[in-house]
C-alpha cells in the first residue's frame, strides 16, 4: 500500500525566509506526486504536480527517487503562503493517498 | 464554470441511521471521487466513479457505498451510522483524459456529525 508521510504538523517561518515542506512516500513503482493546498476558507486545490516540473506561486518540488522524497520549497515565504499543505501520491488512477498535512504559518 | 457542489453542507444524525450525500461535478468532468477527512486519519480515499462504474474502492466497510448517475452526479451512502463516521466528506471531480493528471477539483464538503 502507498504511504505518504509529512513529518511536520506545523511549520512557522518568517516572511522572506526560505520554506521547505517535507514529504516522503513509499511506493515501489513510479508514483505520481502532487502537492495540494488549502487556504483559509477555501477549497482544497492542486498546487503542483511532479510530472509538470513547474513552479507555481514561487513553489517548486523535486522528486528524489533515491530518498523517496518530494519536498516543497520556496526561497522567500510570503504571508499569503500561510495555508495547509498536503502531499499526495497516485498510481495511474484517481485514487490519491494523502499525507496528513503541514500547516504553514508565515510570520510577518 | 461552476465548481463542485456538495449537498447538504452540514448534517447531524444519530447512531444507526443512514445518510446520503450528493455531489455535482464540474460540467464535463466524468470522474468523481469521494474522500473522508478526519483529524486523526486525515484524508482517506473512499471510492471513485467513472461513467457510472466504480473504478476504485478504498479500505472502508461495506456500510459505505456510492453510485454515479448518467449525468455524472454522484451520491454516497453510509448505513448504520457509527460515532466514528463523523467526518468531513469531500467529493472531487476530474476531467478524465485517459492519463491520470491528478488534478482533482474538490467541493467544500459535507460535514457529518453522528451523535
pLDDT tens, B7-21? 999 999 999 999 999
Q: What is the mean pLDDT of chain A?
A: 91
CB B111 within 8 Å of CB B88? yes
Closest CA to B45 of B97, B101, B4, B106: B106
Query: Is residue A28 predicted with pLDDT exceeding 90?
Result: no
pLDDT tens-digit series, residues B52-101? 999 889 999 999 999 999 999 999 999 999 999 999 999 999 886 655 56
Residue A84 scores a pLDDT above 90? yes
Beta carbons within 10 angstroms of residue A42's beta carbon: 11
Q: Measured between alpha carbons, how far is A31 from B17 in angstroms, rounded to an integer? A: 39
Predicted local distance difference test score (pLDDT) of residue B97? 62
Q: pLDDT tens-digit profile of A32-76?
A: 899 999 999 999 999 998 877 788 899 999 888 888 999 999 999
C-alpha cell at B46: 473512499
Residue A34 CA neighbour count, 13 Å, CB half = 22
Give the C-alpha separation, B30 to A14, whole Å. Answer: 42
> What are B63's three cell numbers?
456500510
pLDDT of res. A75 = 97
- First-to-last alpha carbon distance for chain B, in angstroms, is 37
Q: How many other C-beta atoms lie within 10 A of the C-beta of residue B68?
A: 23
Taking the CA atoms of residue A38, residue A42, residue A43 and residue A45 in that order, the dihedral angle to the nearest 10 degrees is: -50
Provide mean pLDDT across the span A76-96.
89
Confidence of residue A86 (pLDDT cuts 50, 70, 90): very high
Q: Residue B35: its chain A contacts at CB < 8 A?
A: 98
Interchain contact, A94 vs B103, CB within 8 Å = no
Yes or no: say if B112 and B19 are a contact pair by the CB < 8 Å rule.
Answer: yes
Q: Which residues of A touch B42 (CB under 8 A)?
A: 86, 98-101
Query: Which of B6, B23, B41, B43 is the mutation pick for testing A, counting most A CBs within 10 A?
Result: B43
Q: With CA atoms as reference, report the closest residue to B64 among B73, B76, B50.
A: B76
- For residue B92, give the C-alpha cell: 472531487
Amino acid at each position: 500500500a502507498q504511504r505518504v508521510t509529512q513529518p511536520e504538523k506545523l511549520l512557522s517561518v518568517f516572511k522572506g525566509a526560505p520554506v521547505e515542506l517535507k514529504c516522503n512516500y513509499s511506493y515501489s513503482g513510479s508514483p505520481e506526486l502532487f502537492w495540494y493546498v488549502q487556504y483559509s476558507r477555501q477549497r482544497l486545490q492542486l498546487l503542483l504536480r511532479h510530472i509538470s516540473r513547474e513552479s507555481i506561486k514561487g513553489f517548486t518540488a523535486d522528486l528524489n527517487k533515491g530518498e523517496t522524497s518530494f519536498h516543497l520549497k520556496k526561497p522567500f515565504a510570503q504571508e499569503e503562503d500561510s495555508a495547509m499543505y498536503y502531499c499526495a501520491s497516485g498510481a495511474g488512477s484517481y485514487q490519491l493517498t494523502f499525507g496528513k498535512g503541514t500547516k504553514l504559518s508565515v510570520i510577518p | 464554470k461552476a465548481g463542485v457542489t456538495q449537498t447538504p453542507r452540514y448534517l447531524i444524525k444519530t447512531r444507526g441511521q443512514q445518510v446520503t450525500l450528493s455531489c455535482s461535478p464540474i460540467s464535463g468532468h466524468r470522474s468523481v471521487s469521494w474522500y473522508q477527512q478526519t483529524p486523526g486519519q486525515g484524508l482517506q480515499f473512499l471510492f471513485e466513479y467513472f461513467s457510472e462504474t466504480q473504478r476504485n474502492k478504498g479500505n472502508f466497510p461495506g456500510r459505505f457505498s456510492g453510485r454515479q448517475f448518467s449525468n455524472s452526479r454522484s451520491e454516497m451512502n453510509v448505513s448504520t451510522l457509527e460515532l466514528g463516521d463523523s467526518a468531513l466528506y469531500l467529493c472531487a471531480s476530474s476531467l478524465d483524459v485517459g492519463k491520470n493528471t491528478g488534478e482533482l477539483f474538490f467541493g467544500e464538503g459535507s460535514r457529518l456529525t453522528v451523535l
